[in-house]
Amino acid sequence: MNTAWKQDPRLKTMDPEKVKYLSNLAETVECTPKDKLMPLFMSMAAGSSQYHFSDDETDLLVSIMTAKMNPAEKKRVEMLRSLSRRLGAGKQGRPKKG
């Protein structure tokens, strides 16, 4: 397993529970066949996490998830991230329904 990400300086300021989550994620990605990585990423993006990740933390998470992806797959992930950011920005200004 590639553990180079564990040397990232952003981990030093991150909540230990988030680091544990990232470690579990890295293990899952390592065991996931390459052709199943995009569906895994999509299911994670669609699901609700108990953690809120900053932009730096999200960058680290995505770098772990995309380590085994080819350039075309990485580009799709970046497109999804961009779309997600735009959709999230639109939600921030709207009042909650209910």
| Per-residue pLDDT reduced to its tens digit, 32-43 | 887 887 787 777
Please name which of 51, 50, 45, 57 lies closest in space to residue 88, comparing C-alpha atoms: 45
Which segments within the chain are labelled E, that is strand?
none
Show Cβ contacts of residue 31 under 8 Å, excluding neighbours closer than 6 positions. none
Signed CA dihedral, 53, 58, 64, 70: sign only: positive
Q: How far apart are CA 98 and CA 96, in angstroms?
A: 7
Among the listed residues 6, 3, 77, the one whose alpha carbon sits nearest the alpha carbon of residue 44: 77
H or E element at residue 39 = helix 37-46
State residue 16's pLDDT score: 92
Give the predicted TM-score (pTM) of the model.
Answer: 0.61
Between 46 and 12, the higher pLDDT residue = 12
Retrieve residue 36's tokens.
Answer: 């199943």
